């Protein structure tokens, strides 16, 4: 292959952009880099959704760009993912102290379990954003 690839962003499709932005910005502490809307025939053709408009927010996760996007028209709801389902995805973010992060979470944030230290010595915590998307916090 003559072209090399490099990471640009991790995208998460949501139905309520403002509610999810509040979680990623205020709970996870990711600063907003940009907010914009894209529509038109070229965009709709590229994403394979007739008449599509996408509202986007880009956030900074220590140099990794996290993209939240809400589409009009919206697709169908999907079942809640489990991390072991083929095709499941999650966003992994490093924190200095998982237990302290867990203790500071607002009461309405859903967690998969309390923080756990795995046999490899990694302390992890999985939480769900307001729409059920998985986010892993790992002590690093």
Number of neighbours of residue 25 by Cβ within 10 angstroms = 15
Q: Is 18 left (phi over 0), alpha (psi -120 to 50) or beta?
A: alpha
pTM (predicted TM-score)? 0.90
Judge if the upstream peptide bond of residue 73 is cis by omega within 30 degrees of 0: yes
Q: Is residue 87 pLDDT above 80, yes or no?
A: no
> Model confidence over 131-140: pLDDT tens digits?
999 999 999 8
Condensed to tens digits (0 to 9), the pLDDT of residues 113-122 reads 999 999 999 9
């Amino acid at each position: 292959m003559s072209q090399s690839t490099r990471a640009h962003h991790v995208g998460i499709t949501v139905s309520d952009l403002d509610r999810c932005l509040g979680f990623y910005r205020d709970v996870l502490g990711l600063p907003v880099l940009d907010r914009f809307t894209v529509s038109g025939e070229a965009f709709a053709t590229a994403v394979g959704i007739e008449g599509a408009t996408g509202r986007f927010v880009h956030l900074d996760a220590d140099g990794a760009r996290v993209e939240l996007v809400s589409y009009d028209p919206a697709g169908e709801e999907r079942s809640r993912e489990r991390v072991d389902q083929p095709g499941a995805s999650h966003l992994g973010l490093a924190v200095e102290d998982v237990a302290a992060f867990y203790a500071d979470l607002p009461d309405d944030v859903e967690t998969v379990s309390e923080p756990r230290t795995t046999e490899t010595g990694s302390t992890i915590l999985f939480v769900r954003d307001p729409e059920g998307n998985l986010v892993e916090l790992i002590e690093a």
